[in-house]
Structure 1
Amino acid sequence: MQSQSSTPRWSSEYAFVLAAVGAAVGLGNIWRFPYLAGQSGGGAFVIVYLLFVIALGIPLVMGELALGRQGGKSPVATMEDLQKKGHHPFWKSIGWVSVCLPLVTMGFYTVVTGWILDFIVRTLMGSFNNINADQSTEYFSVLQNSWAYMLSLNTGFMIILGIVVALGVKKGLETTVRIMMPALFAILVLMAIYSLATGDAGAALTFLFEPDFSKITFRVLIDALGQALFSLAIGAGALITYGAYLPQDVNIPKTAKVIAVSDTLVAIFAGLAIFPIVFQYGLEPSEGAGLIFVSLPIAFGQMTGGIIIGSLFFILLIFASFTSGISMIEPIVSVLEGKGLSRKKGVILVSSFCWFLSMLAALSFNILQDERPLGFIPFLAEMNIFDTLNFLVSAIILPFNAMIIAIFIGWLLSRKTLLEQFGYKETDMGWKLWSFSMKLLSPIACAFILLNVFFA
């Protein structure tokens, strides 16, 4: 088993923050956030989302980082050590769910990344110039039906991702995030500035920042809460794993706030980059998941410089997808290393499993389109493999794991350990607010998501 002394460390706090932000910043920020905001009334959704990030997201990030650094091992090994110290075996499920959840996520995440890779090439080739809505919809449908082509894109992505993870924490993860994360932020800011300058900035700013609170429904609350968890990679193993590589002199509360603020800014800037274009070209903000792959290509095909702007946008998505993909592979690889398997063999095993799942998800739009893997469950009866994986992760497994993490850390983890990890005193307001969130707010909020799934 991997010892704490053999655990790799980040070379600097800056490298860790980039990696942690990279784990959080992904397609959830740039693909999922805008279409959820569009479907949920814009500003009302944004306000609720921000409140959840502050009240629940930051405390949960702090808790996972503290748990990871205290254990100094993989999520599974950390929870096994805690069981030996007297905690019930049930809590080991935190470790296993935390490393298995990202594998399920990669099943549909890789498919979306394959779409993005294709759209980069097509945009550069000018394939979307002057296309209409019917043509854009037809193109996306043809792409989803091109199963052999999709599998080749998925395979290429998994190979490159596996190589980076196999290189290790410093040579692979650090080197990648040091390049990709600054580039991601730079492209996103430039796109937002361009979009606001050339698009309908007034309509976009009104839509995003002038909330109509009458639009806040129970569904909006659930979507905003789920997005806060999904966006910050809470319950997905990355924060516990990365926390294990974290030096003792790094301030966890400060770092958690930096991660949450950076992640939120990316989501907001994504909205500023997308919605001025949406309103300028008469597109529908409530388009849903197709906003990125059906609606925006129409706008890119009409605007001046659309080839450049469109290509930059999809490159931005690739960077976000890649840095998050690393954080999904790393937790289970760290477990396998701790069990005595070499890092390279662990990467090959994990990447192969993720590729297999992504293959099934990609085929669910064509060869396996009639398959309903969990059709015997009423609320999953109409979902194909891709939709089932997506739903299980975002609506069930993620909130369940976040809930039991909050309960365990808030109620059962040593208070002395947490105070030392946070640098707090019991009389500090920060400690009192964190305790209230972890013991009550976070478990109750996550339970609401689960109850909504089963009883809505």
Structure 2
Amino acid sequence: MAIEDIRWRSNFTFVMVALAATLGLGNFFNLPYLMATHSGGTILLLFALAKITIALPLLIAEMWMARRTRAIASVAFTCLAEAHKLSNIWIWFGRLFWFSAFGLLAYYAVVTTWGVVYTWQYSHVSSFEIEQVWFQFQTMTRDVPTLLLTQTVLFGVLGAIMLLGISRAMQSVAIIMVAVLLSIILSMFVVMSLNAEYISSLGAFLTVDFSNVDQSLVFVIWQHAFLSTGLGIGGVFAFSMFAPKTVPIMKSSMIIVVIDYLFGVLVALVVWYFIYNIPPEYTNGVELFFQSILIGAIEVESSYFLLPLLFVVFVISTSMALMFSMLPVAIAIRSHFHLNFRVSVVLTLVSVWGISAICMLSFSVFYNHLWYGMTIFEVVSYGTTHILVPICALGVSVFVGWRLASGNLEKDLHFKRTFYYYLWRLLLKFGVTCFLFLSVLANLPSAWQLSSDWQMLLVLGLANAVSARFVFGVNILTMGSPKVVLCRRF
């Protein structure tokens, strides 16, 4: 069966595949840390609001684009731009998804490999002192032969699953893995709830206090809500392009966002307890999760038995996110270069393996090769998650929210009430667009930073430009039209 003829078996299968692509790495990091360092109840309320106002509108837009064109991100922009006689500049927004996908896959591959090795080596370290745990983790990140061998085996397993076929393997794996993830993390929360000390501290920790909430905290929570939903990387396009016409986009999107939120909350309620017990001098970027779980558990001896289970959850989650994030890249390679799907999967695996291997070497061989004070791994992870991904998502919000005719959208999305449609369009056009634009500006390297006044002027200028449907010099800069490889005509 050709990829173009595949359909998910049912609406339930579609939702499970979508959840498999969203219940991933992002849920294990920022939210638990924010809860451990701020009022937990306040963080959860703001996180829920961010999911509704940022993640949900953008998820609906990406799902609609994919199902409407039945194509990957780069081709979807091309199809819709041609169908609505819009500028060719949108084609290049679609192509940016390629770069964000490869960067994020390399990041996933490194952290997933860390998780596998960490699970194997450090699940029983109750005798270690805090300094030893810190030293052992730093040593692990420099053990290149072990990491590369583990990553190669991991890629072989993921590749074998993908090569079995999207229609057969992906649907089954999605249903099983989502059920396993939700069951394990829920079981862990129930087990921890039996600890009286944990319950007493949790009750006090979840109080709501807005006195310490400032603009920067709100921005960080909104950014986490956006990234943890897996938007702006092409994954939504990959699983939505196979959705049957009967799938209600609005309802499915709401189910996905709600379950993703509840999963993130459960993870945070388990992980924050460990992070809360870690001395601040041992926190360091992406390694925070690994170090805090072990160090925090050593500080709280009754939590030792949860370590193996927590790492299993983490490894399953990151491995699943890695596999489903590879899907859009493999489909893109197959579509653009007219290759067999199996060949496309192999090329994707080899390419991502090579990029992630270089990232791993940045902790040893290339440790002194810095750019703006960051290692290669940090440049790839930061540049992808904080710059490329928001730019890709910004292209979606402006394109769907501002450039496409309202009538077609309202007809295709089947909102029960016109009010809900206009509310969604309002959030997408103004809330999501302005947030993503500010996110890109705020995360540029310090040497390129603009003052807050200039950032606000640029936001207002962007709103004025897109509302007037005017882009200066676009036709001159984008003469010519790239060849459309896969495009369903409307």
Give the structure-1-normalised TM-score: 0.90
Q: In structure 1, what is the equivalent of residue 310 of structure 2?
A: 313
Q: In structure 2, what is the equivalent of residue 101 of structure 1?
A: 100
Work out whether 1:387 is the aligned partner of 2:353: no
Give the counterpart of 2:415 among 406, 414, 424: 424
Matches within 5 A, 1:182-331: 182-198=179-195, 199-207=197-205, 209-278=206-275, 287=283, 289-300=286-297, 303-304=301-302, 306-307=304-305, 309-331=306-328
Identity %: 21
Q: In structure 2, what is the equivalent of residue 348 of structure 1?
A: 346
SS in 1 for 2:411: helix
Post-superposition offset of 1:33 = 2.6
Q: In structure 2, what is the equivalent of residue 47 of structure 1?
A: 45
For this pair of structures, how many residues does the alignment match?
441
Give the whole-Å Cα distance in 2 for the aligned partners of 1:337 and 1:232: 26
Q: Conserved in 1, the CA contact under 8 Å of 2:35 and 2:272?
A: no
Matches within 5 A, 1:76-87: 76-85=74-83, 86-87=85-86
Give the structure-2-normalised TM-score: 0.84
Work out whether 1:365 is the aligned partner of 2:356: no
Moved more, 292-301 or 329-338: 292-301
Give the whole-Å Cα distance in 1 for the aligned partners of 2:269 and 2:19: 20
Summarize deviations over 1:86-129 as a string: whole Å, max 9, x none.
121111123222233121011121111111101221245x3x12
Counterpart code for 1:441:
G
Flag the structure with larger Rg: 2
Unaligned regions of 5+ residues in structure 1, if any? 376-380
Matches within 5 A, 1:24-43: 24-39=22-37, 42-43=40-41
Give the counterpart of 2:134 among 137, 140, 149: 137
User: Cα distance 1:152–1:171, how it changes in 2: closer, same or farther (>3 A)?
Assistant: same
Give the whole-Å Cα distance in 2 for the aligned partners of 1:305 and 1:46: 24
SS in 1 for 2:364: coil
Summarize deviations over 1:128-180 as a string: whole Å, max 9, x none.
12222101101101101111111112222222222222222222211211211
SS in 2 for 1:137: helix
Q: In structure 1, what is the equivalent of residue 403 of structure 2?
A: 412
Give the whole-Å Cα distance in 2 for the aligned partners of 1:447 and 1:99: 20
Give the whole-Å Cα distance in 1 for the aligned partners of 2:281 and 2:255: 29
Give the whole-Å Cα distance in 2 for the aligned partners of 1:161 and 1:254: 31
Q: In structure 2, what is the equivalent of residue 378 of structure 1?
A: none
SS in 1 for 2:9: coil
Q: Conserved in 1, the CA contact under 8 Å of 2:36 and 2:275?
A: no
Summarize deviations over 1:23-81 as a string: whole Å, max 9, x none.
11111002343124434554433332221111121111111111110001222222222
SS in 1 for 2:29: helix
Superposed CA RMSD: 2.3
Q: Conserved in 2, the CA contact under 8 Å of 1:106 and 1:354?
A: yes
Unaligned regions of 5+ residues in structure 2, if any? 444-448, 452-490
Q: Conserved in 1, the CA contact under 8 Å of 2:77 and 2:91?
A: yes
User: Cα distance 1:285–1:243, how it changes in 2: closer, same or farther (>3 A)?
Assistant: farther
User: Cα distance 1:257–1:390, how it changes in 2: closer, same or farther (>3 A)?
Assistant: same
